[in-house]
């Protein structure tokens, strides 16, 4: 890793992580209180730097895409963790950027990634609709659907199922940890955005590296 890569990715990652953490704390649901704010800030700074570190291992152009996507998804995740909401205004630009990246590889690739984005959105929307009809409650927000659409736009149809399965497993593990730590139940509301974001970013990183 060169000094230049360190300077333009890892150091900005530290700053971006700090800014994201501070911003998310100003947006948080007041019912969550101020518990764990210092740890949250530290986690955001570490995550921002780690994204930059991993991105620095790629050639210049892909490294910017990896870092940019990672930091954008980190911001979406931070808001969901502190305010229990995924902003469409944040998730939609991520989806649009994914389609732009796909378009750089040709119209055929763009069409596939657009179809994956639509499939991701419909998958979450249909599940949400089914839960609403069965239980009469809004269990999944529209932001989750938009975020999964963004994942599809970036990773394409081949890896979208991987993102869906991985995010589902991460979400269930998180609920299990919460249940063991604080007695949470299956009805406990959890922020699912970070699970989707993590799965999508890892899938994109592995895709660029040739790992999958």
Cα 122 to Cα 67, 138, 172: the distances in Å are 27, 16, 21
Which has the minimum average pLDDT: 12-21, 83-92, 149-158?
Answer: 83-92
Query: How many whole angstroms separate alpha carbon 181 and alpha carbon 198?
Result: 22
Q: Is the pLDDT of residue 104 over 60?
A: yes
CA proximity to 72, closest of 57, 82, 58, 87: 87
Per-residue pLDDT reduced to its tens digit, 46-74: 999 999 999 988 888 899 999 999 999 99
Residue in 35, 38, 41 with CA at minimum distance from that of residue 22: 41
Query: In terms of pLDDT, which residue wins out, 190 or 146?
Result: 146
> pTM of the full predicted structure?
0.87
Residue with the larger pLDDT of the pair 33 and 154? 154
């Amino acid at each position: 890793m060169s000094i230049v890569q360190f300077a333009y990715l890892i150091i900005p990652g530290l700053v971006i992580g700090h800014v994201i953490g501070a911003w998310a704390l100003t947006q948080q649901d007041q019912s969550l209180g101020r518990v764990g704010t210092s740890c949250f800030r530290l986690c955001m700074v570490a995550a921002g730097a780690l994204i930059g570190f991993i991105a620095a291992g790629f050639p210049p152009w892909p490294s910017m895409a990896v870092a940019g996507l990672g930091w954008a998804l980190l911001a979406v995740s931070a808001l969901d963790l502190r305010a229990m909401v995924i902003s469409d205004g944040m998730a939609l630009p991520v989806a649009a950027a994914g389609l732009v990246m796909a378009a750089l590889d040709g119209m055929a690739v763009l069409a596939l990634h657009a179809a994956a984005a639509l499939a991701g959105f419909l998958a979450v929307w249909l599940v949400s609709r089914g839960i609403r009809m069965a239980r009469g409650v809004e269990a999944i927000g529209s932001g989750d659907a938009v975020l999964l659409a963004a994942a599809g736009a970036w990773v394409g149809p081949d890896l979208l199922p991987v993102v869906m399965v991985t995010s589902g497993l991460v979400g269930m593990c998180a609920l299990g940890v919460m249940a063991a730590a604080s007695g949470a139940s299956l009805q406990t509301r959890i922020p699912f955005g970070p699970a989707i974001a993590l799965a999508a970013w890892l899938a994109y990183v592995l895709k660029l590296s040739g790992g999958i």
